[in-house]
Structure 1
Amino acid sequence: MSSFIHRHPCKFGAQCKDIDNSKHNQEYEHPSFCPNGSKCEDTGDDHEKAYRHLPACEFFQKCLQYQKHVTSHCEKFRHYMPRCDHGSYCVNFHERQ
């Protein structure tokens, strides 16, 4: 006779630091990957917690490989405009960079 144990959702969702830990995954359930994959630009807190994401490219949208549409690179990383730590009160609001 086999038993099935329902895993509890991890309270950290996709932002869990132990998401790749197999022992942790036996106890807790985590969200699936974002359906937008490498093209996802939604960095809202709710979206980031609801879905797992590919790592961000260190150069974001200034990445030359992204600008040249190098598929092998673009499929491995997200290229989005990083959010300011100050949110709506960004001190660099009027700067174009």
Structure 2
Amino acid sequence: MGEQPHLHQSHDHIVKRLKRAEGHLRSIVAMIEEGRACVDIAQQLYAVEKAVCQAKRTLIQDHIDHCLEDTVQALSRDDRAPLETFKQIAKYL
């Protein structure tokens, strides 16, 4: 009895981004094993880090915009105010 898949429109995009980052990370490992310059390796690690961070940000924003929004849509505007504030501050993740 597993859970039903919880998919959003953005998930395909996130998976593609993470698969690219995965391949990029493998190439960074090869760079290290080949003895490439540390500055080159650091630059590539930074790029992978940014890609993973953006994937995380997209996932969280999508969850907020869809899952939480669906949960609280029946609330009054005043009762929704904390969610609106949370959505605004979450953009800075």
TM-score w.r.t. the length of structure 1 is 0.24
Q: Which structure is higher in strand share?
A: 1
TM-score normalised according to structure 2 size: 0.25
Higher relative contact order (CA 8 A, sep 6+): 2
Which of 1 and 2 has greater Rg?
Answer: 2
